[in-house]
Amino acid sequence: MNYYVIAGEASGDLHASNLVKEISKLDSDSDFRGWGGDMMQAQGVSIVKHYRELAFMGFTEVLMNISTILNNIKLCKEDILNCKPDVVIMIDYPGFNLRIAPFLKQNGIKVFYYISPQVWAWKQSRVKKIKEFVDKMFVILPFEKDFYSKFNYNVDFVGHPLLDAVSTIKKEEDFVQKFDLDAKPLVAILPGSRKQEIEQMLPVMINVSKRFNDFQFVIAGAPSIEEVFYKNIIKDSPIKLISGKTYQILLHAKAAMVTSGTATLETALFGVPEVVCYKGGKISYMIAKQLVKVSYISLVNLILDKETVKELIQNNFNEETLYKEMNELLYNKEYISKVEANYKGLREKLGGSGASQKTAQLMVSYLKNDK
């Protein structure tokens, strides 16, 4: 069968690549084309456009790039019609994917959605569009199935694919020597994967790192961002930058500063105590504050339904508040133990391992039954 996959971010590229790998095992005649990144390409997906060309963050940023976004949507629609896939598999990325879905339905093309948009957090009106235009939804968070059931929409809960991704990672014994790290305990800095958020978050994180001489701080660079971009922010700071090695950095880390997003959950699954940070543009933040309907911004707190990790948001994200929280994470043993103890319930709540395999089995089964 012919599969068309749309992923617009680094995390989507990761999860799509693992899904493609599992589908390929079940469907020997599978052929893949889509929008994504290097990891999808490594699994045999013919990439139409790389996700690094698609990442726009916040309301104002989207408006400033609206012509590019609309051209990309047009290109995607035309490409799908030309290749005539049996199914289009959408991976999160709702701002783009939910504009493509109605077009696919109109043209009789089946739509599977893997990793639901966060409709439970804001813009619940999107559920109506999902019910109308998405044939099958595969959710990865335990509370999402109950959420959708309130709207009489049956979805498949498959577990979180990060459990599989994290479980396969082993510590590289030569990591410290390879990147010329010293004997001091390592603290990870995960400033995000988009340039706009890195510019907002990283300078504050770097300044705070200078106040902890007993530790070495390492920036986990996103593979889609060129190193010179980071170095223009780092300037003369001795802080290390290592790109494309986020999981290895977390395996060696004692604590972490993390920009809100999937990385907050990744950090917790590696058992690393963290502080979650977020600061957006003033207009974007004011709009989001009116629309968002959840108590927390980090996936860790949302899943456990309590403040397991500290969240520093907007004006509360500054050098003094970040310094105070990092001081707790690095020196307060009782505080550290409490965070680590709360992490233990995450895996169980996330549904165990095998999400990619389970999703692939369901997708192939649904497609075969419809033949």
Digitized pLDDT (tens) for each residue of the chain, 371 residues in all: 999 999 988 889 989 999 999 999 999 999 999 999 999 999 999 999 998 776 554 444 555 566 777 888 999 999 999 999 999 999 999 989 999 999 999 999 999 999 999 888 767 889 999 999 999 999 999 889 999 999 999 999 999 999 988 888 999 989 999 999 999 999 999 999 888 889 999 999 999 999 999 999 999 999 879 999 999 999 989 899 999 999 999 999 999 999 998 899 999 999 999 999 998 766 455 545 544 555 788 889 989 989 999 999 988 999 999 999 999 999 999 999 999 999 988 888 888 889 999 999 999 999 998 76
Task: Please tell me the distance from the alpha carbon of residue 123 to that of residue 128, in angstroms, as a whole number.
Answer: 10
Q: Please tell me the predicted confidence (pLDDT) of residue 291.
A: 46
How many C-beta neighbours within 10 Å does residue 161 have? Answer: 26
Instruction: Enter the tokens of residue 325.
Output: 């929280």
Task: Please tell me the distance from the alpha carbon of residue 152 to that of residue 187, in angstroms, as a whole number.
Answer: 45
Q: Residue holding tokens 């300044």?
A: 207
Contact 129, 102 (CB under 8 A): yes
- Look up residue 127 and give its amino acid: V
Task: Please tell me the distance from the alpha carbon of residue 160 to that of residue 143, in angstroms, as a whole number.
Answer: 12
2-159+354-370 and 167-349 share one fold: yes
Q: Does domain 167-349 have CATH number 3.40.50.2000?
A: yes
Q: How many residues belong to the chain?
A: 371
Task: Please tell me the distance from the alpha carbon of residue 20 to that of residue 39, in angstroms, as a whole number.
Answer: 10
Tell me which H or E stretch contains 139. Answer: strand 136-139
Domain boundaries 2-159+354-370, corresponding CATH code: 3.40.50.2000
**pTM listed for this prediction:** 0.80
Q: Indicate the angle between helix axes 195-209 and 319-331, nearest 10 degrees.
A: 60
Strands 46-50 and 31-36: parallel
Residue 152 exposed, middle or buried by CB count within 10 Å (0-12, 13-18, 19+): exposed
Domain boundaries defined on the chain: 2-159+354-370, 167-349
Contact 201, 225 (CB under 8 A): no
Q: Please tell me the predicted confidence (pLDDT) of residue 347.
A: 82
Residue 313: C-alpha distances to residues 121, 280, 299, 316 (Å): 16, 9, 14, 5
Q: Please tell me the predicted confidence (pLDDT) of residue 55.
A: 58
> Nearest Cα to 359, choosing from 156, 167, 154?
156
Within 13 Å of residue 92, how many CA atoms lie on the same side as its CB? 20
> Nearest Cα to 264, choosing from 120, 145, 119, 160?
160
Q: Please tell me the predicted confidence (pLDDT) of residue 287.
A: 43
Give the contacts of 369 (CB within 8 A, at least 6 positions apart).
none
Task: Please tell me the distance from the alpha carbon of residue 240 to that of residue 216, in angstroms, as a whole number.
Answer: 8
Q: Please tell me the predicted confidence (pLDDT) of residue 11.
A: 84
Cα dihedral 330→333→334→335 (10° resolution)? 10
